[in-house]
Structure 1
Amino acid sequence: MTVHLKDIAAYTGVSIKTVSNVINGNNARVSPATRAMVLEAIEKLHYQPNIAARQLRKAQVGVLAYAIPDIRNPYFTEIGDIMTRVAEEYKYTLLLDYTYGPRDPEPDGKIRYIDYAYGSFEKELSVIKGLRPHLIDGVILDPQALTVDDIKLEEVKGPLVLLGERVFGAPFDHVLIDNVQAAYQATRHLLELGKRRIAVIGAQETQSQAPSLRLKGYVRALQEVNREIDESLMISGGYWHRADGANAMRYLLSLDNPPDAVFCFNDLMALGALSVINANGLRIPEDIAVMGFDNVEEGQFSYPTLSTISPSKEEISRLAISLLIGRIKGTRTQEPECIQVPFELCIRSSTVRNPAGMQINIS
């Protein structure tokens, strides 16, 4: 069935003229909220402009997209929240797209998606090949399934900025943190507290390089103090959600010689681990210290509050938006860069009793 302007107008409750203004890029006449609503309706109803579409592909429409790999993980939604505000400062609207991460099992018990870390290959591929090509000026993508070989320059439609630890070497600006150094600092902190059996949750092979990079930092810290590497303390993190951290912690507590500290490769797993330790009546951090990674807001209100690695979400967001807009406007013409942003070691009560807001800044 062919979708017309009047169908979009009826669906959104705005006038046909307003829909026409959005499609023709007359953004000054439409509020950002209305424009975003109309664009979403165009996508849902599969409206296909013809001549207008060809014109819009050559024009800037003032809309960016951020493709989130896991909407249930607050790290990504916190990034999206900051990006939305930053985009508004540049007079752009930011649309959030979801590349379908972990899902609940199907009725037969199987979980169907490409990688048990996060992303969907097909969805991410559709993003780089032209997510709403006539409606979006550029895309920020945190890939979890694509490889560098999948991102072919001639197939990418429009400016693209990459985030995270999945794709290295692609010909696009890339924003991330030094995961090896961050994990090293987290492990050093636990060692300096006198912890001797430090487990990790999230040590697994995935298409994302985050687990291997963080494991590398953990191993380096142990090797520096001549600590034996005990592979029985390296536990998979499943889907890297709260339940996975809880299940891993139950296993660690069942060992004949359980750990006295655990470094979780993200905060969600750490929060799950905290709940199990508390339920077993153990003292945190005296019996078991817990370290997370990401500094999601929930960790500031857990019991006890969660020590964690805090990537600078503000700088990640600002840098990604500014790099993308620079490519869109043609003011950024240099070769693509891989740019690392700072992180902080936030020390809270899960590793140090009454830390009084100790915080270590690391570039």
Structure 2
Amino acid sequence: MRITMKHIAQEAGVSVMTVSNVINGKGGKVSIDKRIEIEKIIKKYNYSPNMNAKALVNASSRLIGLLYYSDGPGYDFSDPFATEVLSGIESIAKKENYFILIHNVNSLEDIQEIQSNWAFSGFIAVGFYQEIYLKMVEAVSVPIVFVDTHLDNEGEALNNSNVYFVKSDDYLQAKKAVDFLYSQGHEKIGFLSYNFDLEIVGVIEQRFNGYKDSLLEKGLSFDKDLIFNDSDFDKLIENLKQFTALFVTADFLAMNFIKYLRNKGLYDVNRLSIISVDDIRYAELNNPPLTTIRLNQVYKGSVAIERIIQIVEKQSDIPKVTIIEGELIERDSVSWHAKKVDYDQ
């Protein structure tokens, strides 16, 4: 196993930054006992820092860190959202002669470790919810563009000169989706998403609230029994009689559910209309082609890298928040609902 600063920091019970400071002769604020302990651990593992990385630390760079946050040990880079955002970032970075280092993080220590080994001009942070956002801002001294991060007090965040946001208005896009289903005659509308916590401000939480408020504003009932997550496919089938349409928070999930229904011999667009969000490049190729809200994820990525470059190059009048508008894309997965559907027919 390759020993890293993170391993040394964990064994010494200190931060990665403290280990880095000791290695680089900047341990003045570290107690003598703790410094000796860290040095013993370094000697025990015969650890030597990456000299190429150390050289970068002491030089200017055109390096942008692209950080994907995940709660688990790894980020699912096969997720079309991740790849499309990356595609937009890479196209602009290459054109402007910037370099991108991609890293999955799930802790503050991960962020500290990569900072101690590389000199970043700035970061693009994807998938960071409020709690980890606050830790990120405290740990990083270079500009950060957060992609699709929602906060309950964005005004306070905007006072930080290093913080910028590029995102969709996920609440509004969810309302747009439900409004369209309602315009097609649907009044019993279910909700399907990946697992989420309503107490955590984030993309799915925003989409859920948009869904719920759209129903209530139309005088429709909000039924908690019609809220499902990606582990509830069997439960969804058991409740198919209870709704005629389903709002799904991601195209990829909608496509998986349609496939699941087909495998059970239960899919019929005239019995169940489905609308989702993203318009990933495969949505149009689905059977049937998905009706969805296009969020322009490739464009979102290109805007995020453009913002970082503008900040690094000290351009003026850089917007603190950039909202990427969504667009309703009508295809074939939503049908007109004129009467109550009987699933026993």
* TM norm. shorter chain > 0.5: yes
1:12 match:
none
2:184 match:
193
Separation in 1, partners of 2:112, 2:306: 19
2:330 match:
347
2:223 match:
230
Answer yes or no: is the 8 Å Cα contact 1:130–1:158 preserved in 2.
Answer: no
Separation in 2, partners of 1:290, 1:159: 40
Separation in 1, partners of 2:102, 2:262: 36
**1:294 paired residue among 263, 275, 278:** 278
Answer yes or no: is the 8 Å Cα contact 1:67–1:139 preserved in 2.
Answer: yes
1:74 match:
80
Q: How does 1:60-99 map to 2 (within 5 A)?
A: 61-69=61-69, 70=75, 71-99=77-105
1:138 match:
122
How much identity, in percent, do the aligned residues show? 17
Higher RCO (CA < 8 A, seq sep 6+): 2
1:113 match:
none
Q: How does 1:233-312 map to 2 (within 5 A)?
A: 233-235=226-228, 237=229, 244=230, 247-255=231-239, 257-312=241-296
> Over the residues paired in the alignment, what is the CA RMSD in angstroms?
2.9
Answer yes or no: is the 8 Å Cα contact 1:323–1:332 preserved in 2.
Answer: no
Alignment-mate amino acid for residue 134 of structure 2: D
2:107 match:
121
Separation in 1, partners of 2:285, 2:164: 35
1:180 match:
171
1:150 match:
135
Q: Which runs of 5+ in 1 are unaligned?
A: 4-44, 100-119, 238-243, 354-363
Answer yes or no: is the 8 Å Cα contact 1:327–1:333 preserved in 2.
Answer: no
Answer yes or no: is the 8 Å Cα contact 1:129–1:156 preserved in 2.
Answer: no
1:103 match:
none
**2:213 paired residue among 203, 208, 220:** 220
Structure 1: 4+ residue segments shifted above 6 A: none
TM-fit CA distance, 1:183: 0.1
**2:306 paired residue among 308, 322, 332:** 322
Separation in 1, partners of 2:53, 2:94: 29
Separation in 2, partners of 1:75, 1:51: 33
Answer yes or no: is the 8 Å Cα contact 2:58–2:119 preserved in 1.
Answer: no
TM-score, structure 1 length as denominator?
0.68
Separation in 2, partners of 1:232, 1:204: 16
Answer yes or no: is the 8 Å Cα contact 1:67–1:140 preserved in 2.
Answer: yes
TM-fit CA distance, 1:224: 2.4
Separation in 2, partners of 1:309, 1:83: 21
TM-score, structure 2 length as denominator?
0.71
Separation in 1, partners of 2:94, 2:135: 32
Alignment-mate amino acid for residue 325 of structure 2: P
Alignment-mate amino acid for residue 65 of structure 2: A
The answer to whether residue 33 in structure 2 is matched with residue 48 in structure 1 is no
Separation in 2, partners of 1:121, 1:143: 13
1:210 match:
203
Separation in 2, partners of 1:302, 1:329: 42
Separation in 2, partners of 1:51, 1:283: 57
SS at match of 1:151: helix
Answer yes or no: is the 8 Å Cα contact 1:128–1:151 preserved in 2.
Answer: no
Answer yes or no: is the 8 Å Cα contact 2:251–2:283 preserved in 1.
Answer: yes
TM-fit CA distance, 1:316: 1.3
Answer yes or no: is the 8 Å Cα contact 2:245–2:273 preserved in 1.
Answer: yes
- Number of corresponding residues: 276
Q: Which runs of 5+ in 2 are unaligned?
A: 5-47, 70-74, 337-345
Answer yes or no: is the 8 Å Cα contact 2:126–2:148 preserved in 1.
Answer: yes
Separation in 1, partners of 2:111, 2:207: 28
Larger Rg: 2
Structure 1 pair 97–256 and aligned structure 2 pair: CA distance change class (3 A)? closer
Answer yes or no: is the 8 Å Cα contact 1:284–1:290 preserved in 2.
Answer: no
TM-fit CA distance, 1:296: 1.4
2:38 match:
none
Separation in 1, partners of 2:240, 2:137: 51
TM-fit CA distance, 1:338: 2.1
Alignment-mate amino acid for residue 220 of structure 1: D
Alignment-mate amino acid for residue 229 of structure 1: F
Alignment-mate amino acid for residue 189 of structure 2: I
Structure 1 pair 72–200 and aligned structure 2 pair: CA distance change class (3 A)? same
SS at match of 2:301: helix
